[in-house]
Amino acid sequence: MRLVLYEPDIPQNTGTMLRLGAALGVAVDLIEPCGFLIDDRRLRRAAMDYADFLDLTRWTSWRRYSEAGHAGRLVLLTTRAAQPYTEFAFAADDRIMVGRESAGVPDAVHDAAGARLVIPLRPEARSINVATAAAMVLGEAIRQTTLSMIARR
Q: Is 128 annotated as a binding residue?
A: no
Minimum mean pLDDT among 3-7, 33-37, 141-145: which range? 33-37
Query: pLDDT tens across 90-100, in order?
Result: 999 999 999 99
Closest CA to 110 of 72, 130, 82: 82
pTM: 0.91
Q: Is 25 annotated as a binding residue?
A: no
Query: pLDDT tens across 31-82, in order?
Result: 999 887 776 666 666 666 777 888 999 999 999 999 998 999 999 999 999 9
Q: Is 99 annotated as a binding residue?
A: yes
104 phi and psi angles, rounded to 5 deg: 70, -135
Give residue 126's pLDDT.
85
Q: Is 77 annotated as a binding residue?
A: yes
